Amino acid sequence: MRRYYTIATLTLLQQGQDISTVLTGLRQAMERRGHMYLYGRVLKDVARAWERYEAKRIPTVQLAREQDLTVLADSIKRQLAALKAPSEYRVTIAPELIGGSVVRYDHHVIDTSYKDALVRLYQNIAQTTT
């Protein structure tokens, strides 16, 4: 039952219907059927699924520092073009990257971070010394 409510809600949201209208309708339908005990779980399921849906639609660019955005703008545009992604993207800051960027779109990743380069260098050195 919970799955059906989740699928129906997501379908309406993906069709572009107003979120408050959809959630009001969901609540009313669940109250009429006596399924309010599922409401919280359905909302969590919808939120998780919507995040996955949005992650597919909107590219995410991870940077080590905010100022890297201007320095890496051309590189990011090329990476987005390689992934056939829209030019609008979400930026997150991840200091552990040290530098460079990680671009994610539709289950694809282009990792040009210094962290990735250092890990690969370490693995190559470890393989050649053994």
For residue 129, the model assigns a pLDDT of: 81
Helix extents (H) in the chain = 2-14, 19-33, 39-57, 68-71, 73-82, 114-129
Q: How many residues does the chain have?
A: 130
Cβ neighbours for 59, distance < 8 A, ≥ 6 positions apart: 80, 83, 85, 86, 88, 89, 90, 103, 104, 105
Euclidean distance between CA atoms 34 and 2, whole angstroms: 13
Per-residue pLDDT tens for 5-20?
Answer: 999 999 999 899 999 9
Per-residue pLDDT tens for 28-77?
Answer: 999 999 999 999 999 999 999 988 887 678 899 999 999 999 999 999 99
> What share of the chain has pLDDT > 70, as a percent?
98
Entry pTM: 0.63
